[in-house]
Every structure is written in C-alpha cells, then in structure tokens.
A and B are shown apart, each in its own frame.
Chain A
Amino acid sequence: MASPVEQFQVQPLVGGESAVAFTNSSLWMVISAVAVTVFLMASMRGRALVPTRMQSLAEIFYDVIANMIRDNVGSGGRKYFPFIFTLFMFILFCNVFGMIPGGFTVTSHIVVTFALAAFIFIAVTIIGFATHGLHYLRMFFPHGAPLWTAVILIPVEIVSYLSRPISLSVRLFANMTVGHVLLKVIAGFVPALGIAGIVPFVFLVPLSALELFIAVLQAYIFTILSCVYLNDALHMH
C-alpha cells in the first residue's frame, strides 16, 4: 500500500531537478489558474442583465471579496482588490482541486504557502512604511501604554508581527496536509479490512465533505487575514 504522504511527492514532468523544472505541483497550479480564468470568462461571457446561474456564481465571488475588503480594509483597500481576489481564487481552486483523487494539493506545501505569506508580509510592511513613514514603527508600541512597559511590549509586538507570515503559511499548509493524510490513512483501511472495509468507507464520505469545507474555509481565512494585515498597514491600530 502507498504511504499516506506519497500524495505530496513532487515529481518533475519536464526539466529534471533544475530551478525551473515543470513539476506536478506546477501542473496543478496551471490547472487551477486556467480553471479560475475559464470559469470567470465563460460565466461572464453573456454579460447578462439577469444573470445565469454560472454568472451569478462569478458575481458572488466578486461580491464576497469586494465586501471583505470594504468591511476589513475600507475604501483605501480598493486598489488591492485585484490582488486579494486573485489570492482568494487561486488558493480556493488549489485547495479544492487537491480533493480530486490522483490530483496534487499545491497548498499542502509549506514552501508555496510560505512564499505567498512572505510576499504578503513584505508587501504589507512596505505599504505600511510608504503610508506612515517611520511613524509605522508605532505599530510596536501601542498608544496610551505607560512608557516603562515598552521593555516588554516592543519585543512582544515585534515577535507577533514577525510571526504573522509563519502562522499564515503554517495554518494553510497544516490544514491541507493533515486532512489529506487522514483521508489517505482511513482510505488505506478500506481494502485492508476486506468486507468490513465498508465501515471506514462510510466514514470517509462525511470526512471528504468536511475536507471540502475546510478547503473553502482555509482559502477564506488566508484571504481575510491578508485583509486584516493590509488594514493594519493602512490605518495602524
């Protein structure tokens, strides 16, 4: 029987071990991006005044992200809307496509989630300094706190600020990895138990539904936390 972690194996399809090798991970990134594009373009093709089902779905995605930015960032976040929207759709499709049997979950790799989180962290920090200048350093020492608490507060705030990309990336990576491992382990019992394998099989059905839910939820959480960090950079706290 295959190991439960074999599903995470990255295999080069073209280019061997070079830095630009096209792997199964790259393939599923491309599939997700193409799916996002095709879904949006095809469903909006009619540009109908009264939307079709697919068109309303595309519009719902648009509205959800637009509302998320309006509620969490405010009007200053409008120009980051395309980025946040791309981030959400990409993570969502990568997460959900990871549920396809025989597929590959791009977001179950810490290097991918950390690259995204690090990019957001760096971008948000640059936006913060660009908006507030050196005043952005006040982030690490809240207004109204007694001066002597600076000794404790500043290191704590710095650690909490620096841990943002780590928590953001580890949350997504861990959720995707653990859920898929669990599914694989239980699925392994099905053939092993013979006729009694029906029991873990029945258990797999709600678990798969739960995994699907987590795939959507984690995409949402990753996106909304990005919005929160962006809001901190624009308005401080």
Chain B
Amino acid sequence: MPQFDPTYFAPQIVWLAIVFVVLYLLMSRVALPRIAEVLEARSTQISHDLERARALKAETDQMVAAYEAELAKARSDAAGIIAETNQEIAKKAADRQSAFGQDLAKKVEAAESRIGKARDEAKAHVREIAVDVAREVAQKLLGKAPDAQAATRAVDDVLKDAG
C-alpha cells in the first residue's frame, strides 16, 4: 500500500504543517472572530429587543389601567347625573301636578258659582213664566185674566209648596 511507502512521508508532513498553520491563522484571526461578532451582535440585538418589548408592555399596561380608571370615573359620574336628573324630573312633575290641582280646584269653584247663579236666574225666570202662563190659562178658561199681583201671589204660594 502506498501509505507505507516512506518516499513521500516528509513532504506530506511538511505540507500538512504549512497548510494547517495557515488555516489555523485564517480561522483564529479572521473567520472565527467574524462569526463570533455576528453571533454576539445577534444576541445583543435580541436582548435589546426583548427589553424594549418589556418596556412597551409596561407602558401599555399603564395606559390600560389609566383608561380603565377613567372609564370607571365616567361611569360613576354618569350614574350621579342620572340620579340627579331623575330627582329633578320627579320634583318638576310633583310641582306641576300640584299647580294643576290648584288650578283645577279654582276652575271647579268658578264653575260651581256660575252654575248656582244660573240656577237662581233660571228659578227667577220660572216664576215670571209661571205667572204669565197662569194668566194666559186663566184668560182662556175664564175669559178674563186675573191682575198680575194676584197671579204672582198664587204662583208664589204654589212654588213655596213645591219647595
């Protein structure tokens, strides 16, 4: 086997040493630092991004809390306004109702007095009509009308009996 032929042992070792040393220098001076730098930059970037995300989340949480507090305040405010308004409306309704009741009572009173007056008037007219009717009837029956004073007296008597 050519592996055991010592003719080319020396050149193989020499070239192995040369190539390996050169490759070692290339790796340790150029290639590996470059990869390490990229990996480092990536992990820095990732941790930086994570930190920023955490800060943003905290800020958002704060905003949400503020918004919720504001919302709760608005809710309680609204409830207060509603209660106040309800009270006001109820008061107004009561006021109006009592005013209307007074007005109505006044009107009823006025109407009653008017009715009373009308009744009295009507009663007075009834007497005169009754006197007239009585004189007419008497003229028809007797051929002669009684004088007004006697007729009035007779009618008054009857009305007194009728109440």
Contact = CB atoms under 8 A, between A and B. Distances in A.
B34 interface: yes
A62 B7 contact: no
Interface residues of B, number: 36
Contacts of B38: 44, 47-48, 51, 55, 59
A111 B9 contact: yes
B77 interface: no
Contacts of B5: 10
B37 A47 contact: yes
Interface stretch (A32-40, A67-75, A123-131, A185-193): A32-40
A200 interface: no
Interface residues of A, number: 50
B35 A62 contact: yes
A106 B5 CA distance: 15
Given A25-B8, A89-B27, A33 B22 contact: yes
Contacts of A37: 23, 26-27, 31
B12 A111 contact: yes
A23 B35 contact: no
A1 interface: no
Interface of A: 5-6, 8-10, 12, 15, 17-23, 25-26, 29-30, 32-33, 36-37, 40-41, 44, 47-49, 51, 55, 58-59, 62, 81-83, 85-86, 89-90, 106, 108-112, 115-116, 173, 177
23 contacts: A8-B2, A8-B3, A10-B5, A10-B11, A19-B10, A21-B8, A23-B8, A26-B12, A30-B19, A36-B23, A36-B27, A37-B23, A37-B26, A41-B31, A47-B37, A55-B38, A58-B35, A82-B28, A86-B24, A86-B27, A90-B19, A111-B13, A116-B20
